[in-house]
Amino acid sequence: MEEKDVYRELSSIRDLMERSTKFISLSGLSGVLAGIYALLGARFGFRAMENLEDLDPNRPDVKDAVVFLTLIALAVFILSFVTCYWLSMRKAKKRGENVWNPVSRRLLGAVGVPMITGGLFIAVLLMQQQYFAIAAACLIFYGLALVVASQYTFSEVKWLGFAEILLGLLALNNPGYSVIFWAIGFGILHIIYGTFMHFKYER
Amino acid sequence: MKINLDQFDKAFENRVRLQIMSVLAVNASYDFNALKDLLQVTDGNLASHLKGLEKEEYISVNKSFIGRKPNTQYAITKKGKDAFKKHLQALEKLIKQQK
């Protein structure tokens, strides 16, 4: 065996250890697109809230606005998820891998716990008409999901998660500006993160 | 420069075997199809190397069914982990000696 073979062997071992425990088919572009969807959603959301005089949950126009905002948030979430799945699949295929592998299953399983808990938490807030905390709950539970996810994918995801949690806490403390915090967390941070990841790993 | 191979485990001489051990060393278990995708080898090639490692008692096999599809999970054994560690140490030592 030659010396350079030893190096090749060791680097191949390291590479396999990494690829078999981390899901690296996540694309930076899907972060950018998710950010754009969120900013568009926030724009429509702002417009729906502009005309409201106060946030009395018993007023019919407030109820309509809440339904509208919920639908926008759901649409942003579903669109982002589909985009992320589709781009990951494309990236995995390009590398000759299967997007559905033990690591992606583990990733989804781990992320599922905070995401589903968060979804139920927000559903309860809606039922209880505690609207002031909804944007904060979205940010905090999503941030927790990202911190968990970082164990199974790029470690940079962890910092995005911490930033989302921090924004969520700020939103909780400033409920009047919660849509702005929501737009920063889901819109601007995703675009910054996606751009950074694209240039770091995909160029 | 030629290197003395005395300390190397014969079971790891083959590249695919070493790759299988690398994956199993950092995962609680891995299934056959996922290994095949990851290492990009043929069914027959992978199966024969897995059998070889099983014979050495470096890995354990757990066969089951998910629905109607057979699902075979492989895991590293204590013996396998020790052997793999020793092999890595031998590789590292080689590099150090040459510096």
Residue range B54-63, pLDDT digits in tens:
999 999 999 9
What pLDDT, on a 0 to 100 scale, did the predictor assign at position B98? 72
| Cβ–Cβ below 8 Å for A16 and B30 | no
What pLDDT, on a 0 to 100 scale, did the predictor assign at position B74? 96
Paired tokens of B70: 């057979």
Q: Residue A29 and residue A195: Cα distance in Å, rounded? A: 7
Mean pLDDT of A32-44: 96
Q: DSSP secondary-structure letter at A57?
A: T
Residues B58-86 have pLDDT tens digits of 999 999 988 888 899 999 999 999 999 99
What pLDDT, on a 0 to 100 scale, did the predictor assign at position B6? 61
Residues A124-138 have pLDDT tens digits of 999 999 988 999 999
Q: Which amino acid is at B30?
A: Y
CB atoms inside a 10 Å sphere around CB A77: 19
**Residue A154 belongs to what H/E stretch?**
none
Confidence check: pLDDT of A142 > 60? yes
Confidence check: pLDDT of B19 > 60? yes
Q: Which of A44, A130, A34 is closest to A85 using CA atoms? A: A34
Per mean pLDDT, which range of A53-62, A142-151, B14-23, B58-67 is the poorest? A53-62
| Cβ–Cβ below 8 Å for A101 and B34 | yes
CB-based contacts of A156: which residues, under 8 Å, 6+ apart?
Answer: A150, A193, A196, A197, A200
Closest partner residue to A12 (CB to CB) among B19, B27, B37 is B19
